[in-house]
Structure formats: structure tokens, C-alpha cells
Amino acid sequence: MRPVQERFYATEYPDLLVGLGTPDDAAVYRLDDERALVVTTDFFTPIVDDPYHYGAIAAANALSDVYAMGGTPVLALNIAALPPNLPLEMSTEIMRGLADKVFEAGAVIAGGHTIQDKEPKVGLAVIGMAHPDRLMTKTGARVGDVLILTKPLGTGTITTAAKNDKAEAVYVEEAVASMMRLNRAAAQAALKAQAKAATDVTGFGLPGHALEMADASQVTFLIEMERLPFLTGAKVYGEQWIFPGGTSDNKLAFEKSVRYEGSPTDEMKMLVFDTQTSGGLLIAVAPDQLSVFRAEMARQDSLWWQIGAVIEREAASLVFKA
């Protein structure tokens, strides 16, 4: 028997433009020359206390994988595993959070499935549409491209501080607002700027997702640490060394692909690996298209940061310059 991956890609499925053979943020299936389906699913355990925020963040995070491919969400299905003893008001609020975000994205919830489980897990299966020639994959970064990040980092350390009752409300609110924000404006601006490469920054942190793109594109990403945006609370809790297990795991897994230039502080060398929930898009934009990207983000009143550039491939996938 052939290995699983071989059975599901290659020449037998020419319309499966992105599948297991080329792991990316979502699967892409070509319907015809102008339309492709973008299909993805994501769900997770509670990241914040408030049930409405939990639902909205889970939805924004699931929708994000469609945006990261250059797609527009059209349909979503709820996925929920909820404890049988969860008060009805709570489950209603979670579902309202999911529904509001899907509506904001211009898509519709067309169904779903709920089961009982001790620990809550919610999210979405999402179907989006894209133009088959205008996909943003992990393979499309080119030497000379400018690297852009569209949300600040630090949700891992802040939500961990909140779980330990150590976080100030104002910092948690900032993190929640960021995690709830859709990556729609970023995706639209990237498409207008004819970007060919993007991904969304989530559990593996900036380095984990950046190196996937760099490796797939056979280039190296030079990231200037001083340009990296952080949520206000991130530096506060980072200084207190409050990090989730995922952040240490990321550092352990990905630091071997990093070369440091200059001498960043230990705290900074930990913060950059922070595991993210519903993070921003990391986009590679050709320098002559940067003004198009800038104009569209300004028109949509959306924040972004230029964090580095794509350089010739070297031994390290990522160079972090202090």
C-alpha cells in the first residue's frame, strides 16, 4: 500500500491545488478557471473567560486560514463540544460570538454539529472562494519582498497571565480585541498588492509559521526585532517570564532554524516565540507594490508593521536581527 500522503495528492487530483502534498493554511480545490474552493477547519479550548469572546475569537481564528490563502469566506459550519452541565446562557453566548464573527466576515452559518465533552471546544469549518491564479501560499515569497505583519504579538503570555489571575484587565482587553479582529482587511490589501505568499500567525508563533514560508519558498526571512509589534501587556508579562507551555515548545522546536544577529535579550528571545491565537497575517509583498498595500490598509483603517525582508537562502531559515 502506498503511504497516505501519496494516495491523496499528485496527478490523480489535478484540481486539488493545495492539499496534503503541499501543507498550507487551507485546502484549495479548483472548480473552473476562475473559481476555487478554500476549505479549512479550526477549533480550540477556551482561551478567555468570557463565553462571547471565546466564540468570536474561535471564529476569527478559523476564518483566518481562508484569508491567509487569499480567499473570501462564504459558508461556515459550527463545531462544538460542550459539557452537558454548561449553563444554557454560556453556550448561547459562545454561539452568538461565533455567529457574529461569521456575519461580520460576510459569510453565513449554514449548520454545524455539537457533541458533549468535559472540556469545551468550539470552532468552525469554513468554505471560502478564491481565484485559482491569485492564491497566497507558503511557496510564493521572493528575494527582495518586504515582510509585513498585521497584528501585534503576545497573546500567549497575556492569556496565560489572565488564567493565573495575574493580568490587568486593560491588557487582557487589548489582547481580546486583537484576537477578535478579522484578517479580512489584511487579505484584501495583500491581494490588491498582488502578494503571492501569506500565512496566519497562530500556535507555532511567528518563527514557526515564518520558517514554514521561508522553507517552502526556498528563501530566508530577515526579521528586525526592533520592528516587531507587541501588545502592551506582552512585555510586562514577558519580563515576569509568564509564558504558556506552547511558547517554550516553539523555542525548543524552531530556534535551531534561527540565526541571531546582534545580541537580543533573553526575554526578547522568548517573546518572539510566543504562541499566538488568532494572530495576524504574515505577508510577503513586492517592494514596488508596498504603496498599494499601504493605501488599502489606510483606507480600511487597519494596522500593519513592516518587520523585515526576504533574502537569499542561507543555512538558517530565519535571521532575527537585534
Residue ranges that bind Co ion, judged by CB under 5 A: 25, 42, 65, 200
Residue in the structure block whose three cell numbers are 454539529:
113
- Residue 136 contacts by C-beta under 8 Å, 6 or more apart in sequence? 68, 69, 70, 187, 190, 191, 195, 196, 197, 198, 283
Write down the least CB distance from residue 279 to Co ion, Å. Answer: 9
Write down the least CB distance from residue 124 to Co ion, Å. Answer: 11
Write down the least CB distance from residue 200 to Co ion, Å. Answer: 4
Residue nearest to Co ion (CB): 25
Nearer to Co ion (CB atom), residue 42 or residue 93: 42
Nearer to Co ion (CB atom), residue 25 or residue 174: 25
Whether the CB-CB separation of 106 and 47 falls below 8 Å is answered with no
Nearer to Co ion (CB atom), residue 188 or residue 278: 278
Write down the least CB distance from residue 40 to Co ion, Å. Answer: 6
Give me the numbers of helices (H) and strands (E) for the chain, helices first please.
11, 13
* Rounded Cα–Cα distance for residues 72 and 133 (Å): 14
Nearer to Co ion (CB atom), residue 91 or residue 151: 151
Write down the least CB distance from residue 283 to Co ion, Å. Answer: 13
End-to-end CA distance of the chain: 50
Nearer to Co ion (CB atom), residue 149 or residue 268: 149
Nearer to Co ion (CB atom), residue 188 or residue 276: 276
Write down the least CB distance from residue 272 to Co ion, Å. Answer: 18
- In Å, how far are 99, 219, 284 from 116, measured between CA atoms? 20, 45, 42
